[in-house]
Structure 1
Amino acid sequence: MSPSDENVSAMLASSASGTTLMILVQLASRVFTFTANQLILRGLPPAILGIAFQLELYFISILYFSRESIRVAIQRQPLQFKSIAIFDHKDDTDAAFKKANDESEVRTIASQSAVNMSYLSLMLGFLFAMAFAASYIQFAPSEVSQLPFYHASVVIATAASLMELSAEPFFTVVQQYMLHRKRAVVEMSAAFVKSLATCLAYTWAARTGHVVGVLPFSLGYLCYSSTLICGYMLALRGVSDKWKFSMFLTKITSRNGSEYLLERFPWPMVTLSTNVFFQSVIKHILTQGDSMMLAAMTSLEDQGIYALASNYGGLVARVLFQPIEESSRTLFSSLLNSGGTGKLSIKNVNAAKSHLTEVLRAYSLIALVGFPLGPALVPQVLHVLGGRSWASPRVSSLLSLYCYYLPFLAFNGISEAFVSSAANTAELRNQAVWMGVFSACFASAAYLFLKVGGLGAHGMVYANIVNMAVRILWSFSFIRSFLSRHKSGVALAEVTPRPLTCIAGVIMCMILTTRQSYASVNIGDALTFGAVYIVVVLYLERRYLMMYYTKAREMVKSKANKTSKPKGE
């Protein structure tokens, strides 16, 4: 196997293991959050949950505007798979030793450049935090600003966002060297502490009769950020010494004394992050636009109901889709990085395409199972989990509708991950222009559904589906064009289930819809129909599933063989 093939295999294997670990992290964090929410949800009015929804939007916005474009720019750099080579011989004239030193220096420069770039996130964070805090406090409605501990909650959430941005250098190192296990441990611990702090604060307030508003949520953010920083500091002790770079903002010089970085920052990466920033602003508006529109056009109760649907309905998205999207973006960025030459390896392009089609095919199967079963099962589960205050037809129908939105969310995430990794600077600017068009489409759809149609939280889900649909169409148009330029392509059959499987899905949708029209579907019937349907899907897709099961086993076996291989072989 050639070195380039080995590198591609290493990237694919590392991406697979990283995705698995991040799914476990998201699953654990969602379990912690879900458990904490269940303990406080039954005594939490929809209006308070709506304000907590706004506070989360405020917190996320500071983080997103401060670090998203910089993370994308850093991810476009080559990953560091191997630690610095250590040789027993000391002869500086030896060609292998000189080559190792050169590779070591390049790796050190790349790592230090990424760490230095991450400090820009904290600098931007101060600016955005001050601006957002002033506007959020100044323009808050009276029913929100008069809530007990409202101003204290905003201040604590602001401090928590800056603390989380302080952990960006550590996150950058974890991503560069693909230290997924360390990241998993740290983020899982932080999620547990956040959930525990939120739950304990609300429990204490309920037992003592204090009205604390959304203060427990802001304390949860603060505990999460504190644990994140402490965890990364402990997990990455000695890493910078081992790989010869500094975790602080440092100007890099080569062995002959010439400076590699002007004013400590790698300007090509700064330029790229600037171009990505304007695109990310529009993308954030599109991603979080539902929260913004709801805050502007609906009541706090509607916002609380939508927050419940978003938290429960988005559980699958956060646990499964988000880790896959994140690891795929890192993989695509590495495979489709031309290294400044403008030319891409055909093998790398094919590897990226193969990963994309595998994920899309898996998403198609998940959607085919979720479309008929989700809307039938969700209302039954809500009655058990939410209590009487949330067990209403309005909330149940919203959660059922949210099941149809999730596949759009998944397809958009993976397709935009490919686009952001493959597009050059000019194409990123073109995407930013199109994002502006999508923003207009989304705003128009939201206005029609919310103001004209008066559909409330339901209208927001419809607007989101429109938003995701137009973005998916554009992304797939770009992907087909990109693959065509590199003498490749993607067929519909590569990313969709078999026709018989699709027919089975349509039949199941008709059966469950008919039963819901004439009689309520109880939990027993829904589970029975669901179990039979899943068995049918597994049977019809058995060849596809066995093929990837065999592929996964070979990958695990290959990794185990490399791990157990004696040194020197």
Structure 2
Amino acid sequence: MAPPEENNLSKLLTSSVSGTSFLIAIQVFSRLFTFVANQLVLHTLSPAILGVATQLELYLISILYFSRESIRVAIQKQPLELHFDAHTAKKKQNDATKAPSSGDAARQSALSSQTVVNMSYLSLGLGIPLALTFAGFYVRFAAEEVSQTPFYRISVAITAVSSLLELSVEPIFAAVQQHMLYKKRAAVEMSAALVKSLVVCGCFTWASWTGYTIGILPFALGHLCYSCTLVFGYIQVTRDVRKQWRFSLLLSRLKSRDQSRYVADTFSCRLLSLSANSFFQSIIKHILTQGDAIILAAMTSLEDQGIYSLACNYGGLVARLLFQPIEESSRILFSSLLNSSESTTSTKAINAAKAHLVDILRGYGMMSALVLPLGPHLVPQMLNALGGHRWGSPVVTSLVSLYCYYIPFLAFNGIIEAFVSGAATPSELRTQTGWMGVFSACFAFAAYFFLRVAHLGAHGLVYANIVNMAVRILWGIHFIRSYMLRNSIKMPWAEFGLRPYTYVAGVGMSLGLTWHGAFGFGIREILKSGAVATGYALLV
């Protein structure tokens, strides 16, 4: 019979793989719905309207991120199940004759779920003042070109309501995440994405048929329908779960007569401390993540914002479909394996986390070997087929081509920061927050240089983002290697590198395609480019 520790590791790894599959499914289907809807309205949508819609989405993302991100990170970093298991194991070790009964385990599980639910209500408490503050800012200080967009003010108000509705499901979401109910989450979020896409597409189609100008109202209605579907869906799918684990979705006092009440109270204090540490870090991280959108909104025209938004949507499609689910599930896995609440972490758990990290880094390396040589040269054909001649201009084409070089940086930074989030202690998180300030300064300096000095426009923002990701990746690798050395585990660079022949093939393909030039748009050129890409992929 395998030791309990190995069984736990196996269970965690299996859950992580299953969770990643469902999270990828969420992204694939939701982005597929969004992509199809965008393609249906893109030919009738002006870059200026798309630019205002980008600002509206930034408004929504900012409210959600500042309200819930730090609390989510704290809950993921300290899984309650592991904490209660450790407490029970310690009691077993001190008194082998007093094994916990099934009733004790059920009460501990109910307390853990209720603690997570209660903590998640902080997101709604933070969201209400943030939504009101940001709404006033977006209405009062909007540029004249933006404020004159049809239905702009009512769209801001609808989006504020949407954000609060989405935050109201955080207690349910936290319980779903804690019990790893990824299948139920996938069903709800895919349904919400479908409803949102149908509403946006339907509104623009109706406006096109009737000749009515509705501005950005369809995007706001899409956000509202998405939030309403989340609320209804999560309540329905967790009905049986609430009965099974015996917790309430409302704020409830923790009632218990045994020591588990003390454990829950102690853990609540720890979650509050971690949330406070993560909140200040999330502010800087949000600026780094959404810095390009903020700078664009402040320094460029609506048309430029719309073109850059299109480039990010197409260029970052792979990042949202694949990288984001892997990063999210890996963060949960790393937090479980490298639980910093315990005094010591087993070598087997660290080796399991290292193996998972190395496998993903090698996979991202293979992806980079394909994207970097092929992506920039295949983009013109893709844009011509998807967006038509209106969006297939040389400016958009060159911007999306440049974005292909940014994708690998997004991938590596995401998984490295997921490991850091799971392994770092509260003091190390505060140190990382300080370094995030340095990264913000690097990004600001790079953006100023590429925008003001070099006058590269939206292209300069892509270069600035690459610089930003590069310094964050270097710091993250340094942290990981230091963490491994502290635990007497070596992690050489060659362990997650590719074979030399792969690098040679990549450089050769890049030089060959540069010499050949851009592919045409005819059937023969499309078949030719497809044959080249397939042959190179098989070679790699």
Bin of the TM-score, shorter chain as denominator length: over 0.9
Residues 134 and 239 (structure 1 numbering): CA distance in 2 closer, same or farther, change over 3 Å? same
CA contact (8 A) 2:519 2:529 kept: no
Instruction: Call closer, same or farther: CA 1:100–1:404 in 2, change over 3 Å.
Output: same
Other-structure match for 1:282: 284
- Give the percent of matched residue pairs that are identical in Structure 1 and Structure 2: 58
Check if 1:343 corresponds to 2:328: no
Instruction: Give the alignment of 1:289-368 within 5 angstroms.
Output: 289-338=291-340, 340-368=341-369
Residue type at the aligned position of 1:387:
G
Counterparts of 1:29-48 in structure 2, within 5 Å, are 29-48=30-49
Q: Is the 8 A contact 2:151 2:215 kept in 1?
A: yes
Look up the match of 1:189.
Answer: 191
Helix, strand or coil for the counterpart of 2:161? helix
Letter in 1 for 2:30: S
Are 1:115 and 1:249, in contact at CA under 8 Å, matched by a contact in 2? Answer: yes
SS at match of 1:119: helix
Partner of 2:161: 159
In 1: Cα distance, 2:515 partner to 2:537 partner: 19
Q: Give, in whole Å, the separation in 2 of the partners of 1:532 and 1:173.
A: 47
Equivalent pair of 1:252/1:260 in contact (CA under 8 Å): no
Instruction: Output one character per residue of 1:193-232: Cα deviation in whole Å (capped at 9) or x when no partner.
Output: 0000000011111111111111101111101111011111
Distance 1:274 1:249 in 2: 20
Contact 1:252 1:261 in 2 (8 A): no
- The offset of 1:450, in angstroms, is 1.3
Q: 1:178-257 residue pairs with structure 2 within 5 A?
A: 178-256=180-258
Tell me the amino acid that sits aligned with residue 424 of structure 1: T
1:418 aligned partner, one-letter code: F
Q: Give 2:447's aligned residue.
A: 446
Matched, 1:536 2:534: no
Cα distance change, pair 344–259 in 1 and its aligned pair in 2 (3 A): closer
* Corresponding residue of 1:135: 137
SS at match of 1:238: helix
Deviates more, 1:244-253 or 1:172-181: 244-253
Return the TM-score normalized by structure 1: 0.89
Q: Which structure 1 residue ranges, 5 or more long, are not aligned?
A: 85-93, 538-569
Are the aligned partners of 1:79 and 1:177 in contact in 2 as well (CA < 8 Å)? no
Contact 2:112 2:264 in 1 (8 A): no
User: Are the counterparts in 1 of residues 77 and 421 from structure 2 also a CA contact under 8 Å?
Assistant: no
Contact 1:79–1:334 under 8 Å retained in 2? no
* Structure 1 residue 519 displacement after superposition: 8.7
Secondary structure at 2:38's aligned position in 1? helix
Shift of 1:96: 8.4
Conserved in 2, the CA contact under 8 Å of 1:249 and 1:264?
no
CA distance in 1, matches of 2:490, 2:51: 45
* Alpha-carbon offset, residue 100 of structure 1: 2.5
The alignment's TM-score, normalised by the length of structure 2, stands at 0.94
Higher helix share: 2
- Specify the alignment match of 2:421 in structure 1: 420
Tell me by how many angstroms 1:491 deviates.
1.8
Deviation at 1:523, TM superposition (A): 2.4
Q: Which residue in 2 is equivalent to 1:395? A: 396
- 1:248 deviates by 1.3
Matched residue type, 2:139:
I
Q: Hey, what's the Cα distance between the residues in 2 that align with 1:75 and 1:243?
A: 19
Counterpart of 2:530, as a letter, is L
* Deviation for aligned residue 1:345: 1.1
- Following superposition, the deviation at residue 106 of structure 1 comes to 2.4
Counterpart in the other structure of 1:510: 511
Give 1:89's aligned residue.
Answer: none
SS in 1 for 2:343: coil
Amino acid at match of 1:171: F
Distance in 2, Cα, partners of 1:221 & 1:327: 25
The one-letter code sitting in structure 2 at the alignment partner of 1:527 is G
Q: Work out whether residues 411 and 472 of structure 1, in 8 Å CA contact, stay in contact via their aligned partners in 2.
A: yes
How far is the alpha carbon of 1:173 from its aligned partner? 1.0
**Matched AA of 1:189:** S
The answer as to 2:178 corresponding to 1:176 is yes
Partners of 2:517 and 2:240 lie apart in 1 by 60
1:505-529 Cα offsets, whole Å, 9 max, x none, are: 1111111111117999932322111
Aligned residues, how many? 526
Tell me whether 57-66 or 387-396 shows the greater mean CA deviation.
387-396
**Contact 2:115–2:264 (CA under 8 A) maintained in structure 1:** no
CA contact under 8 A between 2:80 and 2:112: conserved in structure 1? no
- Matches of 1:176 and 1:383 in 2, distance apart? 44
Q: Is the CA contact (8 Å cut-off) linking 2:520 and 2:526 kept in structure 1?
A: no
Distance 1:519 1:308, change over 3 A: closer
C-alpha distance in 2 between matches for 1:266 and 1:465: 38
Cα shift at 1:264: 11
- Structure 2 Cα separation of the partners of residues 487 and 62 of structure 1: 42
Q: 1:304/1:519 Cα in 2 relative to 1: closer, same or farther (>3 Å)?
A: closer
Distance, in Å, in 2 between the alignment partners of 1:316 and 1:257 is: 48
| Letter matched to residue 434 of structure 1 | W
